Amino acid sequence: MKRLQHFEGRRRVAIENVQPVIDGGQFPIKRVIGQNVVVEADVFSDGQGALVCLLRYRHETQTGWRELAMTPLGADRWGTSFAITELGRYYYTLTAWIDGFFSWRQEFTRRRDAEDIGLALQAGAQWVAAAATRAAGNDKLQLAEFAELLRTVKPEAGNPAALSETLARLMRAYPDRTLATDYPEALCVWAEPVKARYSTWYEFFPRSCVSDVMQHGSFAECEKRLPYVAAMGFDVVYLPPIHPIGLSKRKGANNSLQAGAADVGSPWAIGGADGGHKAIHAQLGTLADFQSLLMKAQELGMDIALDIAFQCALDHPYVREHPEWFRQRADGSIQYAENPPKKYEDIYPFNFETEAWRELWQELLDVVLYWIEQGVSIFRVDNPHTKPFTFWEWLLAEVKREHPEIIFLAEAFTRPKVIYRLSKLGFTQSYNYFPWRNTKSELETYFTELTSTEAREYFRPNLWPNTPDILAEYLQFGGRPAFMLRLALAATLGASYGIYGPAYELMEATPREAGGEEYLDSEKYQVRRWDIDRADSLKDFIARINQIRRENSALQQDQRLHFLPVDNESLLCFAKIAEDGSNIMLIVANLDPHHSQSGWVNLNLELLGLDDKPFQMHDLLTGARFLWSGARNYVELNPLVSPVHIFKLRRRVRTEHDFDYFL
Amino acid sequence: MKRLQHFEGRRRVAIENVQPVIDGGQFPIKRVIGQNVVVEADVFSDGQGALVCLLRYRHETQTGWRELAMTPLGADRWGTSFAITELGRYYYTLTAWIDGFFSWRQEFTRRRDAEDIGLALQAGAQWVAAAATRAAGNDKLQLAEFAELLRTVKPEAGNPAALSETLARLMRAYPDRTLATDYPEALCVWAEPVKARYSTWYEFFPRSCVSDVMQHGSFAECEKRLPYVAAMGFDVVYLPPIHPIGLSKRKGANNSLQAGAADVGSPWAIGGADGGHKAIHAQLGTLADFQSLLMKAQELGMDIALDIAFQCALDHPYVREHPEWFRQRADGSIQYAENPPKKYEDIYPFNFETEAWRELWQELLDVVLYWIEQGVSIFRVDNPHTKPFTFWEWLLAEVKREHPEIIFLAEAFTRPKVIYRLSKLGFTQSYNYFPWRNTKSELETYFTELTSTEAREYFRPNLWPNTPDILAEYLQFGGRPAFMLRLALAATLGASYGIYGPAYELMEATPREAGGEEYLDSEKYQVRRWDIDRADSLKDFIARINQIRRENSALQQDQRLHFLPVDNESLLCFAKIAEDGSNIMLIVANLDPHHSQSGWVNLNLELLGLDDKPFQMHDLLTGARFLWSGARNYVELNPLVSPVHIFKLRRRVRTEHDFDYFL
């Protein structure tokens, strides 16, 4: 504790438990343009004085704070909110003090004793005169007049001059803040584009945009595929790595160790004679072709997302030019990736702890900046959890300093705390455990954790029912209803979701081996020809779902999610409610892809803003409309028809009062 | 984010969510001598390396850290604990790193490929040789020998030299910590005497130690009263202020505004012609008499607690000598205490915001230090919530720097966040809402909050069923069973509790006015003659309860409290379990003072360490023993006999195996 002479002991207000805050302010919270930041805190002092509490906030480009009065919420909790209008960093903090004049005013309203009131008016005059010294111009004059008035008015209970609203307004404008308590931290908000929160992803392998199995797709062919993707309603097209692919120790089809001459290799084995992370695989095209693809996507309302996989094939130029960026074995050779006894001899991981780490990190940042210069604004980052946290914290901050619009999706399939940490460090969105959450209790538990804990402030899940690495067991055995259901769940539980296609819409369901999650004849190792016009494709179903997402803002956010009880373990029910309450969606899903299931949903009427009048549930998938009333309502879903209701709640049901001749 | 050249990016470990911590480390946690501090944290890194995590702790008098290896608890949580053995401040923090050698060792155990193993042994030799450079003496020689051994041994899977426990032990002693992550805060523990946690208080007015109503008690008379208090098993005797009492505007009996010549005034109206906060009221005796009282109490195993009431009567010397320490009214008079329209014209509060605040604060600190010099080690602080938080934070730290043994009880009957704040600032114990928590749900909710939230780390409730200010409604109407019940609840729910006597044991129950909580003929304003030998006194009951507390360590702590369900709203049941699990108490209380109540208790067998065998419940109040078995057991309490069971759980019930001739 400081000695008396070294501090100002008269700051009487305590500020505690400020929300939102991540790890004591170590990490920013996240918002997108158009959202609010609701700030609350416990603010209180000893005794009874009138407390004034202000929220102070500013965009990083502003030097001065903007201030908003916080309002008491009861039990010493105070709150207010501010709107996010610019990309980049915002800061917010609090200041509070016991206000002499308003404490005086509060007591004055309760005074009854005439002598007392006389003395109190003199004291009040002093508070007002002091404020006059802080004011200027007309305000100064007015305050001086009020001070004089208080000195001279008749001492009466509730004297109107003392309690004048004009005086109160003036006094609020010129407070004495010398003994204010400033909250010691400036907390940070990352303000990001709307797409950071609401996005619809489609992944495909550009080399598979072919009409013949032996041919290799190109960006030019991809361009022709884009309208198909746009018609399904996606707004992000994610391409696996587009760089030259290594030849040495190249993997063959189905991950075989022996590649044939015709084998195309894994796009994640990055780097060859033609270059590394800044080069383009020759068979896909040129940089000009790539930029044409970007333009075409933009015309269709889509962004292209690139894959950032920080690892090298054996032929990568870095290996020759910077052997110091890799770990050496005792015989001087470079250490390939391994997890003993497993070996991944076609890949050299970077050594992030090399003595030359600064040069390595700078080069990897340059890779990202290079592609941003080419027009890329979204990146999907491969295995970020195998690179140091400090590396990502530094790289993401460096990129966002100049480019706050850039979106990074973390492919962080790892332990929960590591996944969360990566999002705290700045990843915009993250893969997550959705592929392995299939039962009602798994889904309820997981999504309650994501949306009701502190994670909601910084973690944005992007839900993928499949990826090139994950053919989920549920999809292998559930047939068409499973594909419909998992897509509908991803698209309604998550404001952001994605699929790996055309494998998804064509319901590719055969694993390489029983019990595994790898696709047979995976595109990771070979070109695949997909018949996207197949009659049984889910493309129209997907298009309809994505249209519903576009038209219903409740589905464009994650936070206001509420699970509702159904008396059948195969039926999942949840509500999503738009931030402004204007749009309410109710989803009922049959998790059993084999049988019809029915049950009674138990609605929370208060949550949904309903009373005892009937209301209409409009299934936007089928167009069917149901009249419901009260909390308990019956649902029945046949998975062979539709495994899910996506209801829009329409409160108003017509009554006799709507009938023309009723009155 | 720092630029690359300005930081070390290779610290790979993240340390999050360290527990216990109060407000991000702003305030200390509290412990008493003999307790442990269990520290846990989320500690993890990218990738797969072998993580080493150490707890570092030290007493404030030590310059170097002591270090303890933390152990993984699963899901990236790590933990360990250290013991508190000295009074004063302890600090604790964490450090963690990815250990090169142990990462290597972990991988080595899984290696199968002969060529691989050969190279790995060479790499291992390098880790060991590097450690040898950090070691000295015999360890250095041994490590050098191990390095040579690894360089030359036959490359075989699971090579015993590589996996030698001796080598592992040596390597643990000489780790490379250059890239360790240090947790940035040193968190603080206040280590206090055992009495800070477990204490039994008895308050009485020394001036009422009289044999005749018109006489005024003295310290000499008080000495004669001490054996009576000690016999009831109390270990703290708390005296209301012992200083000269003001004459001007003195209050008469029952708080009347007109005092007669014989009226003795309120001891909280401190200061008169004879002196102020450092003086003793002449009728009570001299400083020598007071010190004799202290000695006598110590002989009986009790401490005397003084009242610290920082306010003045109108005749206090401060008023004349330091008018600048008080607020002035517009007419130059000193502002008396008020809460308009109420006036307390017999009291001048200090102005803690005076320009001369430093001199005022220093003087108030001197008051406390003065009484510590006289031998006082416990203070009960009157209305701390009407003085600034920063004042207490400073004063308590100043006192404890030289006197870490001093105990401060906060009379903080105010809003919850203010109560908690005062304890965070350093008050050892606190008054609380116990007087107004009477029903089962009130008691369960409140004590669950106190013992299962963060408050458990710094807030020590001291439970008072009555005080001179509070004759609780429950006591006014519940008769003898109510007095027995509320004392038993205070004594078993709280490791610290107290009563204001002899009003309590003599069951004084008449309020000054109906609906109020003030005592009729309150001792605050007059001398009372108590017949402590009355046949119906609760003194033996109290003595028995305090003896049970002394003999059962489960009742000497607050944290391990568990409420158990009973199917009757008038019956409350809870278990208290000693920290080491060796003592388990089960309390069943009938909250209805008028009727017998019965019901079925539902025990948590796992919590109580019970299996399907019968067990014995020994009621330490009555001596009765009940054989119980399984979770559901019947209880019945007649309040006219005993409103409470205070069971000691004795697990063992004799069976035929205990019978001499059974085998």
pLDDT digits 0-9 by tens, B373-429:
999 999 999 999 999 999 999 999 999 999 999 999 999 999 999 999 999 999 999
Closest Cα in chain A to B179: A353
Low-confidence ranges of chain A (pLDDT < 50): 1
pLDDT tens digits, one per residue of A393-428? 999 999 999 999 999 999 999 999 999 999 999 999
Number of H helices, E strands in chain B: 13, 32
Please name the member of A1, A11, A421 whose beta carbon is closest to the beta carbon of B14: A421
How far, in whole angstroms, is CA A228 from its chain's centroid? 27
The per-residue pLDDT for A1 is 47
- Angle between helix B165-173 and B114-134 (nearest 10): 40
For residue A28, cis peptide bond before it (omega within 30 degrees of 0): no
Q: Is B660 a catalytic residue?
A: no
The DSSP bridge partners found for residue A68 are A55
Pairing of strands B337-339, B342-344: antiparallel
Q: Looking at beta carbons, which residues of chain B come within 8 Å of A393?
A: 1
Report the chain B residue with the minimal C-alpha distance to residue A420.
B16
Separation in Å, CA of A637 to nearest CA in chain B: 38
Candidates B221, B235, B303, B411; catalytic one: B411
Residues of chain B with C-beta less than 8 angstroms from the C-beta of A397: 1
Closest-CA residue in chain B for A118?
A: B330
Mutate to test the interface with B, among A327, A345, A385, A417 (most CBs of B within 10 A): A417
- Say whether residue A24 is in contact with chain B using an 8 A CB cutoff: yes
Cis before residue B28, ω within 30 degrees of 0?
no
**Considering only alpha carbons, which residue of chain A is nearest residue B419?**
A46
A11 with B390: Cβ contact below 8 A: yes
pLDDT recorded at residue A612: 85
Residue B1 pLDDT:
47
Task: Give the number of beta-carbon pairs within 8 Å between A and B.
Answer: 163
C-alpha B365/C-alpha B384 separation (Å) is 14
Question: Which pLDDT value is given to residue B2?
Answer: 57
Of A10, A362, A393, which has the smallest distance from its Cβ to B353's Cβ? A10
To the nearest whole angstrom, how far is the Cα of B16 from the nearest Cα of chain A? 8
Beta bridge partners of B256: none
Give bridge partners of residue A187 from the DSSP assignment.
A92
- Helix, coil or strand: residue A207: helix
Burial annotation A547-572 (CB, 10 A radius, 16+ → b, else e): ebbeebbbbbbbebbbbbebebebbb
- Asked if ipTM goes beyond 0.85, one says yes
B304 Cβ contact partners less than 8 Å away, ≥ 6 residues apart: B236, B237, B238, B239, B293, B294, B297, B376, B378
Q: Which residue has the tokens 């333009």?
A: A295
**A235: amino acid identity, one letter:** D
A328 touching B (Cβ < 8 Å): no
A254 exposed, middle or buried (CB, 10 Å; 0-12, 13-18, 19+)?
middle
In chain B, positions 95-154, which contact chain A (CB-CB < 8 Å)?
107-108, 110-113, 116, 119-120, 122-123, 126
Chain A: residue whose CA lies nearest to B41: A417
Which positions of A are annotated as active-site residues? 382, 411
Output the DSSP codes for B7-61.
S-TT--EEEEEEES-BGGGTB-EEEETT-EEEEEEEEEESSSPEEEEEEEEEETT
Using the Cβ of B361 and the Cβ atoms of chain A, whether some distance falls under 8 Å is answered with yes
pLDDT at B663: 53
Contacts of B127 (CB under 8 A, 6+ apart): B100, B101, B104, B171
Please tell me which of the candidates B48, B119, B388 has its beta carbon nearest to residue A10.
B388
Q: Taking the C-alpha atoms of B531, B533, B535 and B541 in order, what is their torsion angle to the nearest 10 degrees?
A: 110
Residues A206 and B508: their CA atoms lie apart, in Å, by 89
CB contact under 8 A, A385 and B46: yes
pLDDT of the residue at A39 = 98
Query: For tokens 């020598």, what's the residue?
Result: B288
In this complex, is the C-beta atom of B398 within 8 Å of any C-beta atom belonging to chain A? yes
Give this prediction's pTM: 0.95
**pLDDT score, position A569:** 97
* DSSP codes joined into one string, A380-402: EES-GGGS-HHHHHHHHHHHHHH
Residue B539: both structure tokens together: 């003194």
Segments of chain B with pLDDT less than 50: 1
